[in-house]
Amino acid sequence: MKLQFTLATGAAALCLALTGTNATANGHAASCGLNTGEAATGAPIKVGGINGNAPPGDFSGGTDAAAAYFACVNANGGINGRPIDYLVENDQWNPELAGQVATKLVKDEGVVALVGNGSVVSMAVNAGLYKDEDVMVMASGCAISECYESSNIVSTNQGPLPSGIGALTYAVEELGTTNAACIGFNIPNNGGWACDWMEDFMSSQGLSGTSILMDPTAVDLNSVYLQAIAEGADTILLMLPAGPAIGLLKVAEEQGGRDLFTWVSPTPLYEPGVAEVLGDYWNDNLYIHIELAPFDSDGADNQNWVKVMDAYGQPDDRRDTFSQSGYISAKFFVEALLELDAESIDRATVSAAIRGITDAESDLLCAPYYVGDADRHMPNHAGRMVSYTGGAFEVVRDCFDIESSYLDPIRAQEAALGIGQ
């Protein structure tokens, strides 16, 4: 019954998914860590990861990819001979459980860091714990302000704020947007946060922006759509997860609203399988800002991500932006640890090594990744635009950065670190 219910069905689905996104690997074996081809046998290094995988969503792509990469590293010499013991917990979107599993990993297990985290609940609940225990979190799936405004959390994904403003930047510059409606969840550190900064961006451009915030379980999407009409917007920015965004697009399709607005979205709508759900109606009328490289990119890291997932991932692992993000977080983490003396690895040295990451490059990212010692982190704020065309996605603008006063402290950090993006 489940898509991956039988091995055969799972394999078929995997093939379809890969064909659909053209994410097939070229070349030989996956490249990981020291690439010795020999399994690491030393004392394990405990690393944690927390995802949220329960209704209303599965954010496990980041930890799945990190697990696959670490397995590959362990099979290739580990961290100078020491394997990574990757302990993953699921907070099930439950704040109490999120606190419990973080305490278990950080205090009981004594992990040296957390990598690949994809859980908005855990970030909000545990940011203080991570700071108090001085454990660094190299996250992969964040969507709330705490992910980007905490000293000990650094996420590879952009989240809705830069990605949404990126989408609007394109809309303003290429599609003639003058009045945008940001439709987001009525959650202060998510939709409210991102849509407020969208309004700030529009106002900085001398244009109009308005926020339409809805409850996550709102049934009446028709009224949300009608509200956008009543606001006189010419563009709708879908600052929503893929599910409700698709629901809103369906309502718009029902109302013949494709040509009434310019439709743009941050990354969540860039997901394998979205074409099957959207159909042909939205061809050439939906523009999405993507935070990382396209799934079918020929870049070395993107290709290696596919190889790692093929060789070390599970058949039902998600292969989405969070997965790419988890892979690259894990890769940068391993590169930082390989600089350390294997015997000196503990939380203090690992936290220092992570903070010491600067100018880490990957074709998955538009600009170098860095961490630094700061009270907030947002290393990834440049992305690409794709257009939904012929049931697939086509890059319509390559890497570009966003302009927002939200990034002022981030730009100051980059200047201090000598990073020019």
Partner 1 sequence: MVYGLFLVSGLAVGSLYALGGIGLVILRNSTGVLNFAYGAIAAFSAMFAWQIADWGLPGVVSWIAAVATGIALSVAYGRLIAPSLAWREPAVKAIATLGYMLILLGLIGFIWDDALRKIELPSDKAAISVLGVRVTLTRIIAFTVSIAAVIIMVQYLRRSHTGLNMRALADNRDHAALLGIPIVKTETLAWGISGALAGFTGLIFGSLVRLEPTVITFMVIPATAAAICGRLTSLPLTLAGGLFIGVAESMLTLYKPAAPLRTMAPFVIAALVILWMQRGQKLTFAKEA
Chain residues in the site for partner 1 (CB under 8 A): 1-5, 53-58, 186, 212-215, 217-224, 226-227, 229-230, 242-244, 246-247, 250, 254-256, 271, 273-274, 276-277, 316
Which residue, 109 or 231, has its beta carbon nearer to partner 1? Answer: 231
Nearest approach, Cβ of residue 277 and partner 1 (Å): 5
288 touches 269 (CB < 8 A)? yes
Nearest approach, Cβ of residue 74 and partner 1 (Å): 27
> Which one-letter DSSP state was computed for residue 81?
T
Asked whether the CA dihedral 337, 343, 347, 348 is positive or negative, the reply is: negative
Retrieve residue 144's tokens: 């709330």
Nearest approach, Cβ of residue 193 and partner 1 (Å): 14
395 touches 298 (CB < 8 A)? no
Provide the Cα torsion 334, 339, 342, 343; round to 10°.
-130
Which residue, 242 or 309, has its beta carbon nearer to partner 1? Answer: 242
Nearest approach, Cβ of residue 200 and partner 1 (Å): 18
Q: What is the CA radius of gyration of the chain?
A: 21
Cβ neighbours for 323, distance < 8 A, ≥ 6 positions apart: 61, 62, 64, 65, 305, 309, 317
Nearest approach, Cβ of residue 118 and partner 1 (Å): 12
Instruction: Find the helix or strand (DSSP H, E) in which 235 lies.
Output: strand 235-239
Nearest approach, Cβ of residue 217 and partner 1 (Å): 5
Which residue, 4 or 151, has its beta carbon nearer to partner 1? Answer: 4
Cβ neighbours for 81, distance < 8 A, ≥ 6 positions apart: 40, 41, 42, 342
- Categorise residue 223: left if φ over 0, alpha if ψ from -120 to 50, beta otherwise: alpha
Which residue, 58 or 296, has its beta carbon nearer to partner 1? Answer: 58
Could you give the 3-state DSSP secondary structure of residue 262? strand
Distance in angstroms (rounded) separating the CA atoms of residues 245 and 237: 10
Which residue, 22 or 314, has its beta carbon nearer to partner 1? Answer: 314
Which residue, 58 or 149, has its beta carbon nearer to partner 1? Answer: 58
10 Å Cβ neighbour count for 197? 22
Could you give the 3-state DSSP secondary structure of residue 22? coil
Which residue, 276 or 339, has its beta carbon nearer to partner 1? Answer: 276
- Ramachandran angles phi, psi of 325, nearest 5°: -65, -40
Nearest approach, Cβ of residue 121 and partner 1 (Å): 15
74 touches 68 (CB < 8 A)? no
262-265 and 235-239 strand pairing = parallel
Nearest approach, Cβ of residue 322 and partner 1 (Å): 12
Which residue, 4 or 103, has its beta carbon nearer to partner 1? Answer: 4
Which residue, 220 or 361, has its beta carbon nearer to partner 1? Answer: 220
Largest pairwise CA distance in the chain: 65
Nearest approach, Cβ of residue 60 and partner 1 (Å): 9
